[in-house]
Amino acid sequence: MRALLVLTLAVLALGGPSWAQGQGQQRPQRPQLTAEQRQKLQEARDRFAREAIDLRAAVAKERLELRRLLRAENPNMAQVESQLRRLSEAEARLRMARIRFQQEVRQIVGPEQYARFRAMWREDLREKPHPRMRALIRERIMRFRTPGPGLRMQPERPNRDGF
């Protein structure tokens, strides 16, 4: 465990933005957008956000149902397979919505500005991960710390002093 922590810290220290800037790389310039482009982007972002809320909720519901099926003593594998297919379809709908949004952004700003946006987004992710990404990392860490569906957590026993 200690070795993993040391390795992680070493990778972060070497791969961080300060190291990259020390090698002569500059931060990408923010694309200059017209007022019309900004308005169209805001409208596209709002449309995508509304659609994504519903799609993420659908994915969460499908995951919840899958967990319910897997908690059974002897899960019905046909139902599990069917639920996995529904979950995959819900995730695919969300991914397609993201792709449609990206294509719409490309059409609004053009290829040169879109390339600048992508470079800027990559740099931002290197410097500071998005809050959802941090939440996803925390969730995956917790998933490995908690027992799986067939295991039960042992209740904490008080020590000799009753605490």
Q: Quick one: 36 and 92 in the same domain?
A: yes
Q: Are 36 and 104 found together in one domain?
A: yes
Whole-model pTM: value is 0.58
In a domain, 128, yes or no: yes
Structural domain range at position 54:
31-109
- For residues 30 and 113, give the distance between their C-alpha atoms in angstroms, rounded to a whole number: 9
| Count of structural domains, the chain | 2
Q: Tell which residue, 48, 49, 58, 54, has the closest CA to residue 89.
A: 58
Residue 7 lies in a domain: no
Residue 130 lies in a domain: yes
Place of tokens 């992680």: 8
Evaluate whether residue 162 is within a structural domain.
no
Domain boundary among 94, 109, 124: 109
2 within some domain: no
Same domain, 72 and 129: no
- For the stretch 60-106, pLDDT in tens is 999 999 999 999 999 999 999 999 999 999 999 999 999 999 999 99
Supply the CATH number for residue 54's domain: 1.20.120.1490
**Which pLDDT value is given to residue 84?**
96
Q: Are residues 80 and 121 in the same domain?
A: no
Residue 35 and residue 69 in one domain:
yes
Write the single-letter amino acid at 101: F
In our burial notation (b when 16+ CB lie closer than 10 A, e otherwise), range 50-68 reads ebeeebeebbeebeeebee
Higher pLDDT residue, 127 or 159?
Answer: 127
Residues 64 and 131 in one domain: no
